[in-house]
Amino acid sequence: MKKVAIEDFARIKKLGSLTLSPSGKKAVLTVTEGSIEDNNYRTDLWVWDESHSPALYRLTAGEDGKAPCFLDEDTILFPADRKKRHPSTPAEKYTVYNRISLTGGEAEEAFVLPFAASDLTPVSEDVYLVCGLRDLRIPDLSGMDDAEKAAAMKALEEEKDYEVFDELPFWVNGRGVVNKKRLGLYLVDVRENTRKLLTADYFDLHGFTLRDDHQQVVFWGNEYTAMDTQKSRMFIYDLAAETAVEVPLENRYRVGSAEFVGDEIVFTAATGEKYGSSENPAFYRCAPDGTFTLLSAPDPSLGPVGSDIAGGGSSFSGGDGFYFVQTVGYHSRYCRLTLTGEIETLVDDVNIVSCARGHGNNIFFIGMEKDAPQELYRKANGQVQKLSGFNAAYLAEHEIAHTEHFTFVDKDGVEIDGWVLRPADFDENKTYPAILDVHGGPQTAYGEGFFHEMQYWAGLGYIVFFCNPRGSSGKGGGFADIYGDNYGVRDYNDIMEFTDEVLRRVPQIDEKRVAMTGGSYGGFMANWIIGHTDRFAAVASQRSIANYISKCLTTDIGYYHNLSAIQADPWNSPEKMWAHSPLAYADKAVTPTLFIQSDEDYRCWMGDAVQMLQALLMHGVPARMCLFHGENHELSRSGKPRHRVRRLREITNWFDQWLHRCES
């Protein structure tokens, strides 16, 4: 059996964009794998059709098969400029859509949209709803003559070396500079070559849903000219009458999703009035005239558990109920909410990543079994069937460490879920170095799916342990509430008590050779830990937080989320912000610390990591930073393959150096 290798994240197939045909009997999904040699990812389209032999087959080879949608029962559209005939410029963007039949044949160019488009949704023949990126700084070139167009293009060319910031947020992680850029909702007719913008100029679209009869669309987002207040506006648009009804959210709610259930709409939204910007949403029922009432408030943690090799996709759908993915504890399940407020669990057999509901009880979903990567599943007539084996050969060839779950009660009487991952060849008569891994968020949750980095470390002979301390999702807002004075207190105490419990349960761990790592919120905790204890032999702090005063004034979420988390601001309570900043305790640190940072990470900007690095070096603490150019906050999950290898090698080498892994 082979050990899990550092490059194996690229071999493990990542599934996403699960979409069903109009009948709900056929499914198309994307399957992505990486290439270390080419330093990129290849995404192909795969189809599941029970009437075909084989039922699961690849539709494209080597294409950029992102975001497929069904045009009819046997035809799909997907975006890709396969012939490279429509290059985009800073002033003119193009999105090429291709048509391909499920019955065979080559993909053909269907139409070209003159903007950066996404989420294409057919309304009728040749008519589509689509999300489009708009740059309000760029004039409309379509109405200009050649001389005017040339002058405008020259002016834009001269501006390419400049960026002007005059609103918040001015940059967003993964999107880059967004100043004066908005996502709009368009209704396009590709036969007539027309498009109509349904959203206002300064409206930034967050999502939309088309009703099953294609008569109405609901869309929501934020409208702002200086600062995004994170409060939503939502509209119900009648496509035939070309009229809109605004849902009176009164600058109070932040909408997360909305789906048609019959003639009504069910949407999720939070006010932040109890737990700030991390408050779990409630479910609301909205009538066609826009009036709405609270439907249910079960305090749900919507979405799946975390993984470093999982793909994405929709977690919501409508129809005869509101369908959603929810994490309960450390397990994600698929549920249905009725218009009477009752919640039914539909799939709880496998950790759900994303779902696409078929007709009746026919449910397709992407999920992860215990200690295994993603596969495609279907639940029909009460039975779950695995439809794919994309990662079966990999699992059969490699030693996989198995997660051992346990619970313990912290000193405040709160039950905490934790796990230990021992090497596959674990020998109870040996001693081992160990790694504590802390998740990001903090409102996310570890589960029992496949984590490549943890499996890699276990294969090298490390014992890996991890938990869901207070602050994590899955157990309601009260459990997740670590904000204000509790930040760095409740969560830190849980993590340290968990470490004690693991050392008690696994005496083979050499307590002098224990390391710690974490990213984002886990990076905050890494920086916090080194200023409050010397019990770890080495720490790797990834995309971290060091100074909440600088964090709230530099990042895309700082001005609302971080201020909410600390419940303070730099002018009225700077001493409180400093007290919750790891940088304030850097002079107490003695632990050798590695910093992993990306220079385009606008969620946890590099300024914080630089401050922490300099502080440690000034105080004589062994420290090192590896700064990745052109990467953002998602480095560990979707960064360039060679960068992901280098990141994991940096962390592993740092731990090997200070924990002397080979001693045992």
Q: State pLDDT tens for residues 229-247.
A: 999 999 999 999 999 999 9
Higher pLDDT: 156 or 380? It is 380
pLDDT attached to residue 417: 98
User: How far separated are the first and last CA of the chain, in Å rounded?
Assistant: 22
pLDDT attached to residue 63: 67
- The runs of H, that is alpha helices, within 358-486 are 392-397, 452-460, 476-480
- Looking at residues 564-569, what average pLDDT do you find? 94
Q: Over pLDDT 70: what percentage of the chain?
A: 98
- Looking at residues 128-142, what average pLDDT do you find? 88
- The runs of H, that is alpha helices, within 461-619 are 476-480, 490-505, 521-530, 548-552, 563-566, 574-579, 606-618
Are the CB atoms for 540 and 651 separated by under 8 Å? yes
- What rounded mean pLDDT belongs to the chain? 94
Higher pLDDT: 400 or 146? It is 400
pLDDT at 62 over 80: no
- Looking at residues 376-394, what average pLDDT do you find? 95
Per-residue confidence band for 663, with pLDDT thresholds at 50, 70 and 90: low
For 400-663, the fitting CATH number among 2.40.40.20, 3.80.10.10, 3.40.50.1820, 3.40.630.30 is 3.40.50.1820
pLDDT attached to residue 660: 84
Are the CB atoms for 32 and 373 separated by under 8 Å? no
pLDDT attached to residue 662: 53
Per-residue confidence band for 546, with pLDDT thresholds at 50, 70 and 90: very high
- Looking at residues 55-70, what average pLDDT do you find? 88
pLDDT at 457 over 80: yes
Going from the C-alpha of 9 to that of each of 255, 306, 631, 646, the distances in angstroms are 34, 15, 17, 13
Q: How far apart are CA 524 and CA 438, in angstroms?
A: 10
- Looking at residues 105-125, what average pLDDT do you find? 94
Q: How far apart are CA 459 and CA 399, in angstroms?
A: 7
pLDDT attached to residue 382: 87
pLDDT attached to residue 371: 96
* Nearest of 469, 520, 467, 465 to residue 492 by alpha carbon: 469
Are the CB atoms for 389 and 396 separated by under 8 Å? no
Tokens of 76: 């799909």
Are the CB atoms for 546 and 530 separated by under 8 Å? no
- Other residues' Cβ atoms within 10 Å of the Cβ of residue 483: 19
Are the CB atoms for 120 and 79 separated by under 8 Å? yes
Q: Amino acid identity, residue 444?
A: T
Q: Residue 445: which residues within 8 A CB-CB, separation 6 or more?
A: 301, 305, 306, 327, 329, 330, 439, 468, 472, 473, 474
Query: For residue range 489-527, what is the model confidence (pLDDT) as tens digits?
Result: 999 999 999 999 999 999 999 999 999 999 999 999 999
Per-residue confidence band for 664, with pLDDT thresholds at 50, 70 and 90: very low
Q: Could you please report the per-residue DSSP string of 303-327?
A: SPPP-SS------EE-BSSEEEEEE
Domain boundaries, the chain: 137-179, 400-663
Task: Please calculate the CA angle 194-195-196 and round it to the nearest 5 degrees.
Answer: 135
pLDDT attached to residue 157: 76
Query: For residue range 521-545, what is the model confidence (pLDDT) as tens digits?
Result: 999 999 999 999 999 999 999 999 9
Query: For residue range 339-353, what is the model confidence (pLDDT) as tens digits?
Result: 999 999 999 989 999
The model carries a pTM of 0.96
- Looking at residues 125-134, what average pLDDT do you find? 96
* Nearest of 300, 302, 167, 287 to residue 234 by alpha carbon: 287
